[in-house]
Amino acid sequence: WAKTAGKGRWALFDSERNERELTRYALSSAMPDALDRGEFCLDYQPLVSLSDGSLLGVEALVRWRHPKLGVLRPDRFIGLAEETGMIVRLGGWVLAEACRQARRWIDLSPQAPFVSVNLAVRQVRGPGLVDEVTTILERYSLPPDRLQLEITESAMMNSADESVHNLRSLADLGVRIAIDDFGTGYSNLAYLRSLPVCELKVAGSFVEGLRAPAADPASITDERILATLVSLAHTLDLTVTAEGVETAAQADRLRAIGCDAAQGWHFGQPNPASHVDALL
Ligand code: C2E
Ligand code: MG
Ligand code: MG
Ligand code: MG
């Protein structure tokens, strides 16, 4: 009986796995045409100053409006795009589209936010990145400090010399460089000091601890870790943005420890560009 049950289970796992593989395959092979057909779009999520509540920037987050599967979040396809190399073309589109919007916002308002764009490892390492960014900034006459590039901590730590060279050239242009999901990898602040970074985005997992009642011991520990991180970052002239801020209480505690900016549902969901127009 056990054996049969075991066999049955294997059969189930196999077919589930096959289906997953098929979907992965179907998604990766559909991506190039999907990009040409305009199925990808960007949502923008506010980055807000904790000291005065002003809108500092917006992060561009890619979505795929798949004709059959509905709107797909990046976790479903960014990894695939990295594997196939498609990320270079997709990432190029994201960069151009975000800069086009940033230009529109400058034309709409003197308080226009900067746009923050996520870069995949392949893009940061690629030989074409600096030229690509330069060309796009020129195309939209976008001041370089209206563009921020986010690189995850783990990508940064694995980065080869070319990546560091690329980031330096971009920073020299005046583009802002941020470390995304800080705290989830193994980097240290001493190493970061040697990189042309201006901002740390602290991963939501750290901020989560601040949801518990302020008297909770675990929550107090998380708050102390964050406070230490913020003060070290400030010593290195880095600003700190907290990700995943979902409640007013979290925002208050982050403000109290001197965190500079925040992003999360409490301040705004990712939304189409027209929502940013309305904010301005
Ligand atoms: P990320 O850069 O850390 O982006 C923040 C993610 O947290 C977004 O998920 C956002 O919707 C979500 N989020 C925002 N506020 C809250 C909150 O208060 N609570 C919680 N629980 N989550 C919140 P999303 O849009 O699904 O993006 C996931 C990841 O996909 C991003 O993480 C980023 O690493 C990657 N990604 C998105 N767009 C691009 C892109 O254009 N290129 C590349 N290479 N990666 C991208
Ligand atoms: Mg990001
Ligand atoms: Mg992040
Ligand atoms: Mg992330």
> What pLDDT score does 133 carry?
98
**Position in ligand 1 atom list of the atom nearest CA 94:** 41
> What pLDDT score does 6 carry?
52
> What pLDDT score does 256 carry?
96
> What pLDDT score does 230 carry?
94
> What pLDDT score does 11 carry?
60
**Pairing mode of beta strands 199-202, 176-182:** parallel
> What pLDDT score does 3 carry?
46
Q: Is 74 in the pocket of ligand 1 (CB under 6 A)?
A: yes
Which residue, by CA, sits nearest to atom 38 of ligand 1? 61
Q: Is 91 in the pocket of ligand 1 (CB under 6 A)?
A: yes
Q: Is 270 in the pocket of ligand 1 (CB under 6 A)?
A: yes
Q: Is 94 in the pocket of ligand 1 (CB under 6 A)?
A: yes
> What pLDDT score does 1 carry?
37
For residue 130, report the distance from its CA to the centre of ligand 4, in Å: 23
For residue 214, report the distance from its CA to the centre of ligand 3, in Å: 24
Mean pLDDT of successive 10-residue stretches along the chain, which has 280 residues: 51 70 88 98 98 97 95 96 96 98 97 96 91 98 98 77 90 96 76 86 89 80 90 93 96 96 98 95
Q: pTM for this structure?
A: 0.93
Q: Could you identify the residue written with the tokens 């599967």?
A: 69
> What pLDDT score does 2 carry?
44
Q: Is 61 in the pocket of ligand 1 (CB under 6 A)?
A: yes
Q: Is 123 in the pocket of ligand 1 (CB under 6 A)?
A: no
Which residue, by CA, sits nearest to atom 17 of ligand 1? 244
**Pairing mode of beta strands 261-262, 40-49:** antiparallel
